[in-house]
Amino acid sequence: MIYLDNGATSFPKPKEMIAAMKECMAKYCGNPGRSGHAMSLRTGEEVYHARRKVAGLFGIKNGERLVFTKNTTEALNMGLKGFLKKGDHAITTSMEHNSVLRPLKALERYGIQHSIVRADRLGMVNPCDIEKAIQSNTKLIVVTAASNVTGSKMPLEGISLIAKKRGVALMVDGAQGAGMMDLDVERLNISMLAVPGHKGLLGPLGTGALYAAPWVNLTPIMEGGTGTESKSRLQPREFPEGFEAGTVNAPAIIGLGVSAEFVGKIGPDVIGRYEEDLITCLDENLMNMEFVKLYGPSPSEKTGISLITIDGLEAEEVTALLNNDYQIAVRGGYHCAGLAHKTIGTWDTGAVRISVGPYNTKSDIYALIDAIWKIGKNS
């Protein structure tokens, strides 16, 4: 199988990560922060090191401000619902994933309003439009680092300057940028950063994290055991324990730490350039096929994603043909981001998303090009 669905999750995974998870589960996997015996203490130490490694990728000086979650969706919900209060206003864009749009919609029930800034047909957002949407009660701007539909990179530097100038918190959804873009929280003045462990960081499924700047006051959205202040019925608010109620997925977190270190040694910028090279090769060939429509910006303005439709075929038909006849894995449909599809003009049809990763090669790309040519010619 040629795997080109890295926008959903990365594959394959670093062998070092798999080995670390196996070692944990086979040799010492106690419950961290709950007991004083050697196995628990060892697991706690490894989770601590993993936290520091992940934090280091994003320029986070205090690793304790990084909370582990089960995915980016949980991290976004934790940030949005823990930060915004009744009477507040938030700003987002039409290129967001439902993990942002649905929580914001749900928060309307609690007197929290939001505005959606529309992107252009390439999925690009103008920072000036975000500034125009700021109101007297705007407390948060929440934007994706890059669209999961088109790969369009958001102008984070421009948005960051506006947020800082206007005294508004900035939350970044790093689902499609972490591991292949520079998301330094200090340089970009990021107040909250939500990231997945299993995509660009090459970690295991079921991992993610939320960073909250030291000045950000969050209310926990889940209560339970923390291993601290057990006599109190009130949920602690200290980071990270107060936001990691219950037993954490220690083997996966430890694996994530190893994979984050792996990515850090290569460099997200190096990975990003490599993926851009693959997508450039793909896009240049697809543009020469009269039956293929390509969406989104040029490769230099997006991550390793190509979004296409093929004349006369539904998106799901194309993905099925690629899977069944050519053993190529991609994703078709609406990618949990219907408003983004409406923005770029694929609301009625959906589209086929091709997303590369650091383990893909030019041979994979040429095999896909050949398959798309044959599918299009036979449709």
SS3 165: helix
> How would residue 35 be classed by pLDDT, with cut points 50, 70 and 90?
confident
What's the mean pLDDT in 285-300? 98
**Residue 20 pLDDT more than 80?**
yes
Computed over its alpha carbons, how large is the radius of gyration of the chain? 21
Question: How far is the C-alpha of 19 from the C-alpha of 91, rounded, in Å?
Answer: 42
Contacts 24+ apart (CB under 8 A), 190-194: 190/160, 191/140, 191/163, 191/215, 191/216, 192/79, 192/83, 192/216, 193/58, 194/69, 194/72, 194/75, 194/76, 194/79
Instruction: Let me know if 234 is exposed, middle or buried by CB neighbors in 10 A (0-12, 13-18, 19+).
Output: exposed
| Residues, the chain | 379
Among residues 171, 165, 100, the alpha carbon closest in space to that of 131 is found at 165
User: How high is the pLDDT of residue 246?
Assistant: 86
* Predicted pLDDT of residue 229: 80
Residue 171, beta-bridge partner list = 142, 192
Residue 227 has pLDDT above 90, yes or no: no
The domains of the chain are located at 2-9+267-378
Residue 141: per-residue pLDDT: 99
pLDDT digits (tens, 9 = 90+) for 258-290: 999 999 999 999 999 999 999 999 999 999 999
Least confident of 67-71, 227-231, 333-337, 368-372: 227-231
pLDDT score for 235: 81
Say what the pLDDT of residue 365 is: 99
pLDDT at 222: 87
Cβ-Cβ contacts under 8 Å for 176 (sequence gap 6 or more): 7, 144, 145, 146, 147, 148, 151, 199, 200, 303, 305
pLDDT range class, residue 68, cuts 50, 70, 90: very high
345: left (phi over 0), alpha (psi -120 to 50) or beta: left
pLDDT at 176: 98
The DSSP secondary-structure symbol of 119 reads P
Residue 238, CA distances (Å) to 115, 149, 210, 352, 363 in order: 31, 36, 14, 43, 49
Residue 2 pairs in a beta bridge with 328
Read off the pLDDT of residues 113-139 as tens digits, 9 standing for 90 and up.
999 999 999 999 999 999 999 999 999
Q: In what order do the strands lie in the sheet with 89-93?
A: 66-69, 208-212, 192-196, 169-173, 138-144, 89-93, 113-117
Q: What is the pLDDT of residue 232?
A: 85
Above 80 in pLDDT, residue 34? yes
3-state secondary structure at position 288? coil
pLDDT of 242 reads 85
How far is Cα 89 from Cα 108, in angstroms, rounded to an integer?
Answer: 10
Lowest mean pLDDT among 207-216, 224-233, 300-309: 224-233
Residue 379 above 80 pLDDT? no
Among 30-39, 189-198, 355-364, the least confident range: 30-39
- Indicate the fold that domain 2-9+267-378 takes in CATH: Aspartate Aminotransferase, domain 1 (3.90.1150)
pLDDT at residue 228 greater than cutoff 80: no
In percent, how much of the chain has pLDDT > 70?
100
CA distance 332 to 310: 12
Distance CA 259, CA 177 (A): 16
Model confidence pLDDT, tens digit, residues 322-345: 999 999 999 999 999 999 999 999
- Token duo for residue 2: 């040629």
pLDDT at 236: 82
